């Protein structure tokens, strides 16, 4: 090997900065790649299920029945489904579910007095629409029984896999926005009404049933542990997330934790933090060690004791192209547990559905990016892959070598710092540390012939890795950046890892 080769070390993770020409030994932008123990690898492909839904999927939940059979529930805007053994069954309750109102369409009391035509719905300006509390969706299991709730509908539903049939309403349960099943075998309903007869989409109360009985909600019965608390200071409850140490929930102002106390108080709540409410009710997940969520103020975590900010190194990429109105209704988080990753999907500006995702590895601390449309997801189980939905279809992730409706993986760096930015440099060859199916990868360089304002950035043709492990370039330019991509003609992505690179580069003159 030539002694001209020098190490080109690029640490794991993306660091978003204003321009890609900044001199930085980091990845500038990627799509569907991850790092495992420092090795770059493409995210696995997805296999689409052979069924579809009648309305847009908003939440997915997987659980085992008493017979050890794994079920997958899909809560959609107007429908509820269960997949058992690959067979999809609709269990929407009789009479259907109340669908969400179109975002941006208002009603009585929205806007200023005399706005619009009397007796007709009105278009809400963005500033007013952002004041509305977004819809919430809840799925969980109480033992073997599935529970479901949507804030537009407000009713608590249950379905027993042993009995089959349609989901039915839990009689006597208060209406609310969302619910959580606690480790102590209570069901807590948040933003519930005082009398339990109408939708509680903007209220500050949370209530819980009698222990071990999600159908018992008699708050006046002194023999029952059912009860409720009103949040102070008054603010609408936005979302909730059960954790190992209690139920984490957020109002429009603060974050709280509800803890089990036992008789006679049963539950209390303690304030944890200000200004960290999830960007949407579906933007939070709980892992085995922590809860994670994305908010307008940034990324946050809860370790069971305190809420702490998490440095989001890709936040500029989000802020450059996010729809600040639709994110409140559409954004969703997915825990990809088998890779220790938090995925957060958001809509680009002008889009009404999610089109991008940021990925955070909470074990190793790096960030990644994805161009992918997903509306809901659930983490893997012992014998099942991660499942994500895109509107009316669902995908099994990490289960294929093809990518369906997503772009193929690629990764780009900033200026490689292989010579002074003002000098021309010739890159002769690279010797990547590549394992697995090297023939599916292609390497190319971005460069400029001049640093004059307006000079276009050029790109070499994608080059394969030779059978002896070298990549040939023979390219001269300034501000040289590297791109690694999956070859579209390779038929998919087979297992491959990329480690440290060696590069043979020679500085040239200043002209």
SS (H, E, C) 420-431: CCCCCEEEEEEE
- DSSP one-letter code for 233: S
- Separation CA 359–CA 376 (nearest Å): 15
From residue 128, how far is each of 15, 154, 191, 324 by CA, in Å?
A: 34, 23, 21, 12
HSE (side-chain half, CA atoms, 13 Å) at 320? 9
- Nearest of 90, 94, 51, 64 to residue 162 by alpha carbon: 64
Residues paired with 274 in a beta bridge = 254
By CB neighbour count within 10 A (0-12 exposed, 13-18 middle, 19+ buried), where does 173 fall?
buried
Counts of helices then strands in the chain (DSSP H, E): 3, 39
- Nearest of 365, 311, 368 to residue 40 by alpha carbon: 368
Task: Check residue 121 and give its pLDDT.
Answer: 56
Are the C-beta atoms of residues 194 and 184 closer than 8 Å to each other?
Answer: no
HSE (side-chain half, CA atoms, 13 Å) at 137? 30
- Nearest of 155, 157, 159, 332 to residue 239 by alpha carbon: 332
By CB neighbour count within 10 A (0-12 exposed, 13-18 middle, 19+ buried), where does 162 fall?
exposed
pLDDT in tens for each of the 511 residues of the chain?
A: 445 788 888 899 999 876 665 666 799 999 999 999 888 999 998 999 999 999 999 999 999 999 999 999 999 999 999 999 999 999 999 999 999 987 655 555 555 555 556 665 555 555 456 678 999 999 999 999 999 999 999 999 999 999 999 999 999 999 999 999 999 999 999 999 855 444 444 589 999 999 999 999 999 999 999 999 999 988 999 999 999 999 999 999 999 999 999 989 999 999 999 999 999 999 999 999 999 999 999 999 999 999 999 999 999 999 999 999 999 999 999 999 999 999 999 999 999 999 999 999 999 999 999 999 999 999 999 889 999 999 999 999 998 877 877 888 999 999 887 765 567 899 999 998 888 778 888 999 999 888 777 788 999 999 999 989 899 999 999 889 999 998 877 655 556 788 888 999 988 866 5
- DSSP one-letter code for 489: G
Task: Check residue 201 and give its pLDDT.
Answer: 43
Relative to beta strand 471-486, strand 441-448 is antiparallel
Domain segments of the chain: what residues? 5-29+409-507, 101-134
From residue 122, how far is each of 78, 114, 125, 135, 329 by CA, in Å?
A: 23, 11, 9, 19, 19
From residue 10, how far is each of 13, 414, 481 by CA, in Å?
A: 9, 10, 12
Element (H, E) at 358: strand 356-361
Q: Which residues of 463-481 are buried (b: 16+ CB within 10 A; e: fewer)?
A: bebeeeebbebebbbbbbb
Task: Check residue 200 and give its pLDDT.
Answer: 43
Number of neighbours of residue 234 by Cβ within 10 angstroms: 11
Q: Which residue has the tokens 């008699």?
A: 218
- Separation CA 10–CA 26 (nearest Å): 5
- DSSP one-letter code for 280: S
- Separation CA 373–CA 388 (nearest Å): 10
Sheet strand arrangement including 227-230? 178-181, 187-190, 205-208, 227-230
Cα dihedral value 109, 114, 119, 124, nearest 10: -60
- Spell out the residues 6+ positions from residue 39 whose beta carbon is closer than 8 angstroms to its own: 435, 497, 498, 499
């Amino acid at each position: 090997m030539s002694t001209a080769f020098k190490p080109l070390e690029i640490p794991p993770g993306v660091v978003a900065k204003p321009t890609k020409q900044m001199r930085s030994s980091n990845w500038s932008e990627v799509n569907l790649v991850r790092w495992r123990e420092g090795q770059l690898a493409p995210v696995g492909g997805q296999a689409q299920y052979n069924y579809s839904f009648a309305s847009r999927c908003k939440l997915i939940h997987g659980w085992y029945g008493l017979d050890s059979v794994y079920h997958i529930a899909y809560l959609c805007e107007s429908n509820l489904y269960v997949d058992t053994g690959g067979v999809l069954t609709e269990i929407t309750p009789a009479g259907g579910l109340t669908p969400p109102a179109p975002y941006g369409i208002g009603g009585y009391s929205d806007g200023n007095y005399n706005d619009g035509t009397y007796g007709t719905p009105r278009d809400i300006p963005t500033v007013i629409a952002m004041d509305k509390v977004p819809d919430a969706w809840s799925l969980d299991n109480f033992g073997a029984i599935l529970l479901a709730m949507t804030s537009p509908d407000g009713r608590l539903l249950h379905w027993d896999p042993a009995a089959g049939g349609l989901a039915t309403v839990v009689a006597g349960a208060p209406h609310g926005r969302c619910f959580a099943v606690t480790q102590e075998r209570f069901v807590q309903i948040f933003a519930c009404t005082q009398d339990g007869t109408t939708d509680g989409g903007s209220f500050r109360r949370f209530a819980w049933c009698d222990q071990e009985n999600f159908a018992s909600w008699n708050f006046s019965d002194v023999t029952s542990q059912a009860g409720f608390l009103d949040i102070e200071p008054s603010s609408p409850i936005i979302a909730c997330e059960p954790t190992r140490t209690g139920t984490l929930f957020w109002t429009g102002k603060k974050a709280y934790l509800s803890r089990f106390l036992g008789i006679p108080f049963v539950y209390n709540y303690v304030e944890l933090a200000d200004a960290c409410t999830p960007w949407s009710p579906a933007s939070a997940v709980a892992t085995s060690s922590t809860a994670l969520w994305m908010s307008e103020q940034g990324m946050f975590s809860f370790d069971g004791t305190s809420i702490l900010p998490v440095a989001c190194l890709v936040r500029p990429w989000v802020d450059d192209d996010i729809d600040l109105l639709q994110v409140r209704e559409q954004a969703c988080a997915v825990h990809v547990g088998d890779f220790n990753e938090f995925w957060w999907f958001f809509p680009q500006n002008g889009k009404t559905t999610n089109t991008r995702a940021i990925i955070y590895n909470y074990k190793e601390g790096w960030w990644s990016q994805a161009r992918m449309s997903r509306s809901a997801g659930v983490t893997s189980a012992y014998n099942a892959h991660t499942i994500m939905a895109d509107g009316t279809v669902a995908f099994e992730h990490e289960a294929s070598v093809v990518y369906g409706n997503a772009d193929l993986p690629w990764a780009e760096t900033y200026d490689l710092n292989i010579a002074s930015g003002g000098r021309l440099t010739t890159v002769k060859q690279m010797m990547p540390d590549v394992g697995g199916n090297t023939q599916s990868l292609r390497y190319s360089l971005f460069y400029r012939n001049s640093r004059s304002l307006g000079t276009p950035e050029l790109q070499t043709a994608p080059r394969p890795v030779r059978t002896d492990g070298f990549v040939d370039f023979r390219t001269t330019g300034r501000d040289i950046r590297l791109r690694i991509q999956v070859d579209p003609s390779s038929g998919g992505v087979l297992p491959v890892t990329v480690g440290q690179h060696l590069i043979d580069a020679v500085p040239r003159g200043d002209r």
